[in-house]
Amino acid sequence: MENQIAKKESTVFKAEYMANNEKVKLTPQTVRQTLVHGNGKITDQEVTMFITLCKYQHLNPFLNEAYIIKFGTQPAQLITSKEAFMKRAESNPQYDGIKAGIIVLRKEEIVYSNGAFKLKDDELVGAWAEVYRKDRKEPHRVEISVGEFNKSQSTWKTMPATMIRKTAMVNALREAFPEALGGLYTEDDRNPNEGPIKDVTPQANKANDLLKSAIEPPKKVEQVHDPRDEEVEEVDIFREAQEREKAEKEVLDNANNPVESR
């Protein structure tokens, strides 16, 4: 059995590479045991895609720069941390800084605020970010809305301003450095090629139960025992005995008293 598992593992892509001046070694077993979040079972293809992403983007998943999220039977999502975005941008010689803040509705007026600070009565509606490059005259600026990115998860409920600002920064960094960050997405950054992350295991189990009930042969219906049925059956037997006794008596009477000829 162990030989079969080892043989199967050998057919899946493995990698050794350098990330941040450190040697990183990834195997399918390591990925499955330590780098997967969620209750889904990842496929060999998804493992290979993740290892390939880490190798060619020089990400160190053991520093939480990348990991996998998978629930139920949904496709796995390959996630990159915001810290990895910042490291990649800062390592580029053309990087020249970043500014970011939130957008709030204050007394029917749109206000662009620096950082994630807002007043108690402010309505959070979005965030903005600007990334500066030394070889560009104008910064790469993005503005995003809360409704487009809010996943209604715990961190978004407790720190919505911080989360939407961070998401704006990630989007701006990706636009400013597409050759280094294109195709990388954080957990809070919506990937246009994938749907939102959610656990569909209960729905999948319900669908499986419906399918199973549809293909199973119908169960035999047990007859409900009714004591009155026994009473009716006893009455019928008693009547049959009475009629049989009466018929036998008539036969004997006819034999003992034959009809006289005229």
- Cβ neighbours of residue 118 closer than 8 Å, sequence gap 6 or more: 102, 104, 124, 161
Q: Where are the beta strands (DSSP E) in the chain?
A: 15-19, 22-26, 36-37, 66-69, 77-80, 95-106, 109-114, 123-133, 140-145
Contact 133, 96 (CB under 8 A): yes
pLDDT for res 131:
97
Q: What would the mean pLDDT of 142-170 be, rounded to a whole number?
A: 90
Give the single-character DSSP code of 260: P
With cut-offs at 50, 70 and 90, classify the pLDDT of residue 215.
Answer: very low
In the chain, what is the straight-line distance between the N-terminal and C-terminal CA atoms, in Å?
105
- Contact indicator for 46, 194 with CB cutoff of 8 Å: no
Query: So where are the chain's domains?
Result: 81-199
Give the residue-averaged pLDDT of 158-167.
94
Q: What are the tokens at 113?
A: 């605020």
When pLDDT is cut at 50, 70 and 90, the band that residue 243 belongs to is low
The answer, yes or no, to whether residue 23 has pLDDT greater than 60, is yes
pLDDT at 62: 92
Quick one: average pLDDT of 253-259? Answer: 53
Q: Residue 247's pLDDT is what?
A: 59
| Nearest CA-CA partner of 54 in 62, 172, 40 | 62
Q: Which of 5-9, 40-44, 128-132 has the lowest mean pLDDT?
A: 5-9
In this structure, of 133-147, 158-172, 195-209, 240-254, the range with the lowest mean pLDDT score is 195-209
Locate 27 and state its tokens.
Answer: 């195997």
Across residues 246-250, what is the average pLDDT? 60
Say which residue, 223 or 169, is predicted with more confidence: 169
CA distance 107 to 251: 113
Average pLDDT rounded to a whole number, residues 192-218? 45
| Run of H or E residues at 168 | helix 160-176
Please state, in angstroms and as integers, the Cα–Cα distance from residue 9 to each residue in 13, 24, 26, 106, 230, following that order.
8, 18, 12, 58, 68
Q: What is the CA radius of gyration of the chain?
A: 38
Kindly report the backbone phi and psi dihedral angles of residue 189, in degrees, each rounded to the nearest multiple of 5, phi listed first. -105, 115
- Model confidence, pTM: 0.63
H/E segment holding residue 52 = helix 44-57
Question: What span, in angstroms and rounded, lies between the C-alpha atoms of 4 and 10?
Answer: 10
Residue 256: pLDDT band (50, 70, 90) is low
Whether residue 12 has pLDDT greater than 90: no
Task: Reduce the DSSP state of residue 250 to 3 states and report it.
Answer: helix
**What percent of the chain has a predicted confidence (pLDDT) above 70?**
68
CB atoms within 10 A of CB 124: 19
